[in-house]
């Protein structure tokens, strides 16, 4: 018998709070736009269970916290009882295979169009600065955005409450926890970034003021469901959806130091090399200062393959690595990494199409031999 190959760093176990993970390959939250009328669909049962391993962490796609949260068609929500009920069989399928399942909760803010808003109203944001049309990461679709309406100071508590209720709904649906979406140019990120936020109240101006909205959401959600069930996603270095910051290092560091006060489970951060969605570029910036300052579990995402995922874990740059496009196209990604098997290529053109099978649940598994 040949000697057992040493376990690669990505496939070593990890204790995530009360959850015992069998490996460090995480399914990143991926918008797939197959939740017709904002309702999770039965085909998502197969999609998520295909990507579940015993002791693997999965983060479900961004789910809206209210009827003003949507930015694109057919994204799921967590603001109605009907949505909660629709999520339950999906969550059950992941748990049946031993997976740990968190749900990302989000609000698009100005990354929206009045057609997705109640009564065709303007999207809401920290600003009334409009967003120019953007090519989406499938490389095909161009999204048009309606100029936003700036939230009044007295409206902000309601949005924070929407996140709290949505987190409670996620737990009711059976999820193990939630990831608050504070990245990628959506509402929370709009508040944090000085190139977007032009407010003059206590939610704008200084770094502390710009981060206030995010931290008040964290506090509300932690108080509702417990810090051991809360993560956040951040992208201080990114400029997605025209949401850049003049000092991303300071922003990232301030946020993780502030998060420590709440004792949340994890912080999930987009690598600086991913300045724009799905575009990998050279960057001298590093997540290491954030990693070192944060007391909880640190998840890195953005452009990782098997080799640099292994290196990131081995070198202590991150505890867990989230994979998006490669996990989308390789439902058995952890197994392929274990065997160093070739990966299925992903097809960008079907990232956001509404077909319940094609480009969704039809990516092949490795042929298993008995």
Catalytically annotated residues: 186
Q: In this structure, what is the dihedral angle of CA atoms 39, 182, 236, 268, given to the nearest 10 degrees?
A: -80
CA nearest to 310, candidates 285, 289, 337: 337
CA nearest to 301, candidates 351, 362, 231: 231
Count the neighbouring beta carbons within 10 Å of the beta carbon of residue 231: 23
Residue 35 is encoded by which pair of tokens? 């939740």
Specify the residue for token string 């990507």: 51
Question: What whole-number distance in Å separates Cα of residue 144 and Cα of residue 345?
Answer: 29
Beta-bridged to residue 143, according to DSSP, are 134
Name the E strands within 128-270.
Answer: 134-135, 142-143, 149-150, 177-182, 230-234, 266-270
Give the CB-side neighbour count of residue 115, counting CA atoms within 13 A: 7
Residue 3 burial (10 A CB sphere; 0-12, 13-18, 19+): exposed
Q: In this structure, what is the dihedral angle of CA atoms 198, 201, 207, 208, given to the nearest 10 degrees?
A: -160
Do residues 135 and 141 touch, judged by C-beta distance below 8 A?
yes
Question: What whole-number distance in Å separates Cα of residue 241 and Cα of residue 111?
Answer: 7
Helix, strand, coil content of the chain in percent (nearest 5): 35, 15, 50
Q: In this structure, what is the dihedral angle of CA atoms 252, 160, 175, 19, given to the nearest 10 degrees?
A: 40
């Amino acid at each position: 018998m040949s000697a057992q190959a040493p376990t690669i760093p990505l496939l070593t176990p990890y204790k995530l709070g009360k959850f015992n993970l069998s490996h460090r390959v995480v399914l990143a939250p991926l918008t797939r736009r197959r939740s017709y009328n904002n309702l999770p669909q039965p085909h998502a049962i197969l999609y998520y269970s295909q990507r579940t391993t015993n002791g693997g962490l999965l983060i479900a796609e961004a789910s809206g916290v209210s009827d003003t949260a949507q930015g694109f068609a057919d994204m799921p929500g967590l603001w109605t009882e009907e949505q909660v009920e629709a999520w339950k069989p999906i969550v059950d399928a992941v748990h049946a295979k031993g997976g740990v399942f968190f749900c990302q909760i989000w609000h698009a803010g100005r990354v929206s169009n009045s057609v997705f808003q109640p009564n065709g109203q303007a999207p809401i944001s920290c600003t009334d600065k409009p967003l120019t049309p953007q090519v989406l990461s499938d490389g095909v679709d161009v999204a048009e955005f309606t100029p936003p309406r700036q939230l009044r100071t007295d409206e902000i508590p309601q949005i924070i409450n929407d996140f709290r209720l949505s987190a409670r709904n996620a737990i009711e649906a059976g999820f193990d926890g939630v990831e608050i979406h504070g990245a990628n140019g959506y509402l929370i990120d709009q508040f944090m970034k000085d190139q977007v936020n032009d407010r003059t109240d206590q939610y704008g101006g200084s770094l502390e003021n710009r981060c206030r909205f995010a931290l008040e959401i964290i506090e509300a959600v932690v108080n509702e469901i417990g810090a051991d069930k809360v993560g956040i996603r951040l992208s201080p270095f990114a400029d997605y959806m025209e949401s850049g910051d003049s000092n991303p290092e300071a922003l990232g560091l301030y946020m993780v130091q502030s998060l420590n006060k709440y004792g949340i489970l994890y912080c999930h951060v987009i690598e600086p090399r991913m300045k724009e969605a799905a575009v990998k570029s050279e960057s001298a910036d590093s997540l290491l200062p954030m990693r070192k300052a944060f007391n909880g579990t640190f998840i890195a995402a953005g452009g990782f393959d098997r080799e640099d995922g292994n290196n990131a874990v081995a070198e202590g740059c991150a505890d867990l690595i989230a994979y998006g496009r490669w996990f989308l196209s390789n439902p058995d990604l952890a197994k392929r990494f274990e065997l160093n098997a070739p990966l299925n290529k992903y097809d960008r053109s079907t990232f956001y199409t509404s077909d319940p099978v094609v480009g969704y649940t039809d990516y092949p598994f490795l042929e298993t031999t008995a």
